[in-house]
A and B are shown apart, each in its own frame.
Chain A
Amino acid sequence: MSKAGLEHYLGEHPFFRGMRPKDLAWLAELAEPLALEVGDYLYREGDESKDFYLIQEGLVRLEIHTPGRGELVIQTLGPGEVLGWSVMLPETRKTFDARIFQATRLLAFDAAAVRKHSEEDHHFGYELCKRFSRVIGERLQATRLRLLDLYGQPH
């Protein structure tokens, strides 16, 4: 995809929609396309949070290894979803494994560069923080719904 095509793609994406053209151009310049195969690890628990990702195709599983129970799946993320909201916080480490479950194409955005640019351009940083806050809110809400065990037997 050309840089112009990538700018257009990012501008149409729900996560980036509404950002200024110059912000989209900067992000398009930063974006690194990745293609991963089934079984590959995008990152592992304990890894430094170096990037955040926009999934274009495929399925990524967030897992955690539990002795005696193997890999427990926390959540799956698919096309259109954002992975790695913690990059806005410096010196964070991944708390789960991210393993490729279906062949996946994604865009990676360098976390240090994003943080540095956010410090230099607070409007950009604030816009990105708002978007990551929405992702965090959605994940929190989903977690709360799962805690309710809504489909379980009524007591």
Chain B
Amino acid sequence: MVNPISYTPGQDPMQPRPFRVVRAIRETADVVTLELEAQSGPPLAFQPGQFTMLYVFGVGEVPISISGDPHKPARLVQTIRRVGLVTEALCKLGRGDVVGVRGPFGSHWPLEQARGGDVVIVAGGIGLPPLRPAIYHILHQRQDYGRVYLLYGARTPADLLFPEELKRWQHTLAHAPGASPVRVTVDRAEGGWDGAVGVVTSLIPVLPIDPLRTTALMVGPEVMMRFTISELRKRGIPEENLYLSMERNMKCAVGFCGHCQYGPHFICKDGPVLAFPRVRDWITRKEV
């Protein structure tokens, strides 16, 4: 069970705080990372897996996962894909622009519980940013974990996020010389791509892990996560060790409005990170 941490104690969770953009990084054609600093008050401490509500003044507010290093909270890092009006406005921001920030909200990855065992991190598409803080945390305390694997699937090589970090993690996440902890695959490739082609779930059957001592963290399109869970269960990983981050239409982010209700859960408050047994009866139901 992951204990949800809703928001900074003593702070009105509905009141945005102004943060200034100190750096905007264009990751791909439709993905931008913003580095933000609080204009006043303390930096925003967070747990890996949590999200904030980012408010573009005069346009609107959207939930965005935090993609930065939890050990370096001075700079709030958020990675945004352009999919609608608000995210388009966020992707157009530049150095000096100001946004409103509420949060952090929601539950976090079970990194304490995962200590001492193997960790499999499965990311699909824009699912990598919510997992990056967990990777940073594991890197800070690498000796506390066994074998760690990042399986990352993207649409094309041009859609891969954080390519330089992926190269570094191949060495820094390794548990032993020669290990290959970062396994990247793309759905389609032409020309100069020198990696794997295929779906991310195809990387799971041959993964050298100790299933009963493995915790899996996953983020991606829900269909991808359903098939990922199926493959991980075939490998014998206990259901209670499978964690996924769910995405729904978060509005208030504190469990008042009900927009993100998912069966008996509010994704903003009980999630976004949930153990698979909590969503097992809901994940294949339509229109939930």
Please report A residues at the B interface, Cβ cutoff 8 Å. Answer: 14, 59, 61, 69-70, 72-76, 78-81, 101, 138, 141-142, 145-146, 148-154
In the complex, are the beta carbons of B155 and A69 less than 8 A apart?
A: no
The 6 closest A-B CB pairs, nearest first, are: A151-B125, A80-B206, A151-B155, A150-B221, A76-B196, A73-B197
In the complex, are the beta carbons of A14 and B205 less than 8 A apart?
A: yes
Please report B residues at the A interface, Cβ cutoff 8 Å. Answer: 30, 83, 124-126, 153-155, 159, 185, 187-191, 193-199, 201-202, 205-206, 220-221, 223-224, 227
A39 to B44, CA, bound (A): 51
A153 to B205, CA, bound (A): 28
A101 to B201, CA, bound (A): 21
Give me 24 A-to-B residue pairs in the complex whose CB atoms sit less than 8 angstroms apart, sorted by A's number.
A14-B206, A59-B196, A61-B197, A73-B197, A78-B196, A79-B206, A80-B205, A138-B205, A142-B198, A145-B201, A145-B223, A145-B227, A146-B188, A148-B223, A150-B124, A150-B125, A150-B220, A150-B223, A151-B125, A151-B154, A151-B155, A151-B221, A152-B155, A153-B30
A138 to B224, CA, bound (A): 14
In the complex, are the beta carbons of A145 and B224 less than 8 A apart?
A: yes
In the complex, are the beta carbons of B196 and A150 less than 8 A apart?
A: no
> Of residues B187, B189, B193, which shows the largest number of chain A Cβ atoms within 10 Å of its Cβ?
B187
Specify the main secondary structure of chain B where it touches its partner. loop
A145 to B125, CA, bound (A): 13
> What is the CB-to-nearest-CB distance from A67 to chain B, in angstroms, rounded to a whole number?
14
> Of residues A70, A78, A79, A151, which shows the largest number of chain B Cβ atoms within 10 Å of its Cβ?
A151
In the complex, are the beta carbons of A76 and B198 less than 8 A apart?
A: yes
In the complex, are the beta carbons of B197 and A76 less than 8 A apart?
A: yes
In the complex, are the beta carbons of A75 and B30 less than 8 A apart?
A: no
Question: Contacts of A146 on B, CB cut-off 8 Å?
Answer: 187-188, 198-199
> Of residues B124, B199, B201, which shows the largest number of chain A Cβ atoms within 10 Å of its Cβ?
B199
Residue of chain B at shortest CB distance from A74 = B197
Question: Contacts of A59 on B, CB cut-off 8 Å?
Answer: 196
Residue of chain A at shortest CB distance from B200 = A145
In the complex, are the beta carbons of B198 and A153 less than 8 A apart?
A: no
Question: Contacts of B220 on A, CB cut-off 8 Å?
Answer: 150-151
Contacts A14-B205, A150-B221 known; A145 to B190 CB distance under 8 Å? no
A138 to B227, CA, bound (A): 11
Q: A73-B189, A151-B159 are in contact. List 20 more A-B contacts (CB 8 A).
A: A14-B205, A70-B191, A76-B185, A76-B195, A76-B196, A79-B206, A80-B205, A138-B202, A142-B198, A142-B199, A142-B201, A142-B202, A145-B224, A148-B223, A149-B155, A150-B124, A151-B126, A151-B153, A151-B154, A151-B187
Question: Contacts of A76 on B, CB cut-off 8 Å?
Answer: 185, 195-198
In the complex, are the beta carbons of B187 and A149 less than 8 A apart?
A: yes
In the complex, are the beta carbons of A141 and B124 less than 8 A apart?
A: no
